[in-house]
Structure 1
Amino acid sequence: MFDVAIAGAGPVGLFLACELGLAGCSVLVLEREPDAHSPFKAKPLGLRGLSNASVEAFYRRGMLRELLTASGAPELPAADTEAHEPSPPRAVGHFAGMVLDPAQLDTAALAYRLPSPVPGSMPTYLDAVERVLSERADKLGVEIRRGAAVSAVTQDAESVTLRAGEHEYTARWAVGCDGGRSAVRKAAGFAFVGTEPQFTGYALHATLADPEKLSPGFNLTPTGLVLQPSEGHLAMTDFDGGAFDRSREPTREHLQAVLRRVSGTDVMLSEVHRVSTFTDRAMQTTTYGRGRVLLAGDAAHIHSPLGGQGLNTGIGDAMNLGWKLAATVHGRAPDGLLDTYTSERHPVGARVLDWSRAQVAAMRPDPHSQALQAVVRDLLGTRDGTTYVFQRLSGASIRYDLGSDHPLMGRSAPDFRFEDGTRLGDLMGDGQGVLLDFSADQRLQGPARGFANRIRYAAGAARNDLGLTAVLVRPDGTVIWAGEHAPDAEAFEQAATYWFGAPRA
């Protein structure tokens, strides 16, 4: 019997498998597709944008260099030992196709931001992400079986059984990471609720006879959106109520008509190599766990790709769930730990769905939405508007409610750096929690021994401690305790016990 069986070998399923493998769990991944390679994952159709939070997750697990190489991105620069301010992002993003100006970003409003090797958001391709994660999963002993489509799920008080083809696989826990049409979600009886689509979207690899008639990047028009991220790669939305999505094969003639109508030009599609469709249907499960079955990524929430947050939200799910499920498997999780996966991540997913809906509302081809779009465009042109959008898209606005007024609690930890050059990110590769003790007398070293193999202790003076004397960080990078005065051993022990279980004698 495996500790955990995961349905789906996409980025979310593989990232979760790596988290569990890192924690010493036996993991089986079942993937319905027999081949890991697909033209829809490669250049150009596989283009995706990773948010700062997602790139940070790869950095904290020691996979960022491999990801940059696989993505064809520049290598990380040599560490700037004198840097005191983080570099401004090269791009801020867009809202409903309205691109924002990075010069308008108010970096002073980004609380607790420190210099880091993380290059902000970055473009990549699905096949690059999956290749890096597959190689790491293999090194961690994760077993991946392809051509195994899950068709049935049964569970009892002790285990879960997944049926794939003629085979049955049993594990103590199961996680559905098998996409928007998740077989695990349906078989396990999760409620999936939300709103129906407004448009059919198309992603094309095509040849244009006259590409100069379309501007590169976003082309927002009164009838929809055309995006040309690179030559031969097009995406467009047609507000038909989602009628064409997967209902029939889109012909070149149909795509030509949609492209001309939406772009407002007479651009010519001379050849269509590949095409896929999507909608802005926005649905979410009411809970992320039922018994011994959990969901992550698109299996738990779907929405339009506007803003590129689907993949990023899924990676956040995997990072949040992995260490909690591993602690549960090993019998060291405090009561209610696994329940915090739903209580923390469900609100994040709900906000992303509403973010998607808001963009659709501003894009609809009717007078009311066009009037709204004009107002929104003015607001996005302000420093506050640009900063707000950046915080939403980068993940900087995510803050879990941990019952504390301290502004750092529940947020992703800044990349604190000790005087010897060691960064917080360097200390997180093994998937443990980290206690940073900046106090002169290192008084938390003794209490930290009670959490050995769960919390790594690191002490010393920091280049920029942000006025803190100690910081306790969960394995997913979330701050769960911060001391601003003399380190309080009792307060540390209370926070550590709540998240990691009682200390050993």
Structure 2
Amino acid sequence: MKTQNKSIYDVIISGAGPVGLFLACELALAKCSVLILEKAENPQSPLKQLPFGIRGLSAPTIEALYRRGLLEELELHKQLKNPHQNAKEGAQRQGGHFAGIPFLAVNVDTSQWAYRLPCSTQTNLISEMQEIETVLTRRAESLNVQIRRGHAITDFNQTADEVAVQSGDQSFKAKWLVGCDGSRSVVRKIAGFEFAGTEPEFTGYSVKADIANPEKLSPGRNVTARGMYMQSQPGYVLIQDFDGGAFHHSGNPITLEHIQEVLRRVSNTDVTISTLHIATTWTDRARQTTTYRNRRVLLAGDAAHIHSPLGGQGLNLGLGDAMNLGWKLAATINDKATDGLLDTYYTERHPIGAQVLDWSRAQVAIMKPDPHARALNAIFRDLINTREGATYFAGRVWGINIHYHLGGIHPLVGHSVPNFEFEDGTTIGELMRDGHWTLLDFDKNVLIKTLATEYGNQINFISGQVKEQFGLSVVLIRPDGIIAWASDNEAHENSFRQAIAFWITGVTSEAIDRC
């Protein structure tokens, strides 16, 4: 017998991973009612814990967590150094890598990022999936998000006004459904989203084992004639076997004998595995949905795009989706914007996802065990060891170069707001925790304040002096921390009205182009 849940939620989210949880927090912060349905009954898994669950957070993610008061709850990065650090670099700190080729932090020219202030958050730090999910679950529950575990979505139907969701013998209703349910997304499949892309070149292995002779494996990342392997700590090995993804898709069990055979072949050693504790496989299949929305169904995170975990950008990409979608969907639900605002979720985030997929494909292309790839690899090594090269790769890996093409004439429009520091030591990031729009007025412009008050509690108006304001007069900041409009002169009334008209009411896309 089917059980009908009579409550109609604003949003049902499929998936209680970091992306679903963060999206739920953003929606609940805007007073939306949210239900998360998660198929797994237990959130605990060894694959979410170190070393398997290790994740590198990039600058946009760190800023997002900071602006919501969540960064201070992460502890692991204070205790650990990056276990993927290449020991062969010795005392020189590795800033990251591209296809296993490290770039050194000392080679990065940070002066090229003129708007990054001394009080900016870190460009990268280490965490783990379990820690991130624990922090986000705690925040979601404090905001009255309902999380039901052991509830996989089995079907749904949408009308012009709502989505009816089925989970086993229970049914739920919501105004919107968002699939944050990973690479095998049920929501994506039922809704019929096209998932276009490329097939894999390799099967990747993450292995925890007892190795009888670990000294036979070189430390750090090692690109060989047959693939790649990395032993970042004793007993924890990553392997890439360029089999076209055949083993991953075969459905065959991952046995000690198989892992040992692959590791010996890729490393060209007679290394011996005495005990296999746990192992999982993955590939570099790269796919992205051609749209992120089907009427009242939206996608975010791996449900919308998948790629190789090389470079660790998947989690950051998904959390960026959540930060972008959250305030737009909330504004739509709360009748504070037209439907056109929600369409900008796709136009802004799809290109970012496409860039990450190509970044992943490019890394795979120069790691393949053939002469052409080795030639490209050698050239990339030369480039990444230059100051210009290291700075370029750092900007991409750390996410500093990410921006949205929003129009407008000021160079900061579409970029993350600098972490302006006021005279009392407070930063703008600390003043954005309520998820509202923010209007910074550095010149105490009475007209601007008057215009801002027309939008009531949608905009936090802040007036005051900061230690470095880059010659700016007024800055309008979206809830996700992106600058929607800025002026380095006394603000023009019409220009300001047009910017607010577009972003807060979604009147016309032409408005922002004229700003």
Q: TM-score range by the shorter chain?
A: over 0.9
Matching residue of 1:192: 195
Which of 160, 164, 175 is 2:167 aligned to?
164
| Aligned residues of 2:120 and 2:418 also touching (Cα < 8 A) | no
Which of 128, 131, 136 is 2:131 aligned to?
128
Matching residue of 1:291: 295
Cα deviation per residue 1:396-443 (whole Å; 9 max; x = unaligned)? 111111123422111111101111212110111000111111115555
Deviation at 1:452, TM superposition (A): 2.3
Q: Which range moved further: 245-254 or 279-288?
A: 245-254
Matching residue of 1:339: 343
The yes-or-no answer on 1:143 pairing with 2:150 is: no
Deviation at 1:74, TM superposition (A): 5.4
User: 1: distance between equivalents of 2:410 and 2:387?
Assistant: 25
Matching residue of 2:64: 57
| Aligned residues of 2:10 and 2:175 also touching (Cα < 8 A) | yes
SS at match of 1:345: helix
The yes-or-no answer on 1:66 pairing with 2:70 is: no
Deviation at 1:268, TM superposition (A): 2.2
Matching residue of 1:12: 19
Matching residue of 2:305: 301
| Aligned residues of 1:282 and 1:302 also touching (Cα < 8 A) | yes
Cα deviation per residue 1:239-297 (whole Å; 9 max; x = unaligned)? 00000005211111111111122223332222111111000000000000000000000
User: 1: distance between equivalents of 2:274 and 2:24?
Assistant: 43
| Aligned residues of 1:2 and 1:170 also touching (Cα < 8 A) | yes
Q: 1:113 to 1:444 in 2, by over 3 A?
A: same
Cα deviation per residue 1:114-142 (whole Å; 9 max; x = unaligned)? 12352321111100000000000000000
Cα deviation per residue 1:150-178 (whole Å; 9 max; x = unaligned)? 11121010001221111111100000000
User: 2: distance between equivalents of 1:366 and 1:170?
Assistant: 53
Matching residue of 1:395: 399
The yes-or-no answer on 1:216 pairing with 2:219 is: yes
The yes-or-no answer on 1:469 pairing with 2:476 is: no
User: 2: distance between equivalents of 1:13 and 1:108?
Assistant: 36
Matching residue of 1:96: 99
The yes-or-no answer on 1:114 pairing with 2:117 is: yes
Deviation at 1:31, TM superposition (A): 0.3
- The amino acid across from 1:19 in the alignment is E
Deviation at 1:217, TM superposition (A): 2.8
Q: Equivalences for 1:8-87 in 2 at 5 Å? A: 8-67=15-74, 69=75, 71=76, 73=78
User: 1: distance between equivalents of 2:122 and 2:193?
Assistant: 38
User: 1: distance between equivalents of 2:414 and 2:122?
Assistant: 23
Q: Which range moved further: 303-312 or 382-391?
A: 382-391
Q: 1:277 to 1:369 in 2, by over 3 A?
A: same
Deviation at 1:371, TM superposition (A): 0.9
SS at match of 1:444: helix
User: 2: distance between equivalents of 1:371 and 1:120?
Assistant: 31
User: 1: distance between equivalents of 2:500 and 2:233?
Assistant: 48
Matching residue of 2:248: 245
- The amino acid across from 2:492 in the alignment is D
- The amino acid across from 1:73 in the alignment is K
User: 2: distance between equivalents of 1:407 and 1:230?
Assistant: 44
| Aligned residues of 1:440 and 1:461 also touching (Cα < 8 A) | no
Q: Which range moved further: 3-12 or 384-393?
A: 384-393
Using the size of structure 2 for normalisation, the TM-score is 0.92
User: 1: distance between equivalents of 2:228 and 2:50?
Assistant: 21
| Aligned residues of 2:421 and 2:468 also touching (Cα < 8 A) | yes
| Aligned residues of 1:99 and 1:218 also touching (Cα < 8 A) | no
User: 2: distance between equivalents of 1:386 and 1:53?
Assistant: 19
- The amino acid across from 2:473 in the alignment is T
> Percent identity at matched positions?
53
The yes-or-no answer on 1:180 pairing with 2:187 is: no
Q: CA RMSD in A?
A: 1.7
User: 1: distance between equivalents of 2:156 and 2:339?
Assistant: 26
| Aligned residues of 1:196 and 1:280 also touching (Cα < 8 A) | yes
| Aligned residues of 1:14 and 1:130 also touching (Cα < 8 A) | yes
User: 1: distance between equivalents of 2:308 and 2:46?
Assistant: 21
| Aligned residues of 1:334 and 1:499 also touching (Cα < 8 A) | no
Q: Which range moved further: 363-372 or 491-500?
A: 491-500
Matching residue of 2:411: 407
User: 2: distance between equivalents of 1:258 and 1:169?
Assistant: 47
User: 1: distance between equivalents of 2:355 and 2:63?
Assistant: 21
User: 2: distance between equivalents of 1:310 and 1:472?
Assistant: 29
SS at match of 2:366: helix
Matching residue of 2:9: 2
Structure 1: state its 5+ residue gaps.
76-88
User: 1: distance between equivalents of 2:42 and 2:197?
Assistant: 32
Q: Which range moved further: 433-442 or 242-251?
A: 433-442
Using the size of structure 1 for normalisation, the TM-score is 0.94
Structure 2: state its 5+ residue gaps.
1-7, 81-91, 508-515
User: 2: distance between equivalents of 1:155 and 1:170?
Assistant: 10
| Aligned residues of 1:434 and 1:457 also touching (Cα < 8 A) | yes
| Aligned residues of 1:100 and 1:380 also touching (Cα < 8 A) | yes
- The amino acid across from 2:29 in the alignment is L
The yes-or-no answer on 1:438 pairing with 2:442 is: yes
Q: 1:470 to 1:91 in 2, by over 3 A?
A: farther
- The amino acid across from 1:44 in the alignment is P
Matching residue of 2:431: 427
| Aligned residues of 1:98 and 1:220 also touching (Cα < 8 A) | no
Cα deviation per residue 1:350-397 (whole Å; 9 max; x = unaligned)? 010000000000001111111111111111111111111111111111
- The amino acid across from 2:32 in the alignment is C
Cα deviation per residue 1:167-196 (whole Å; 9 max; x = unaligned)? 111100000000000000000110001000
| Aligned residues of 2:13 and 2:24 also touching (Cα < 8 A) | yes
User: 2: distance between equivalents of 1:419 and 1:265?
Assistant: 61
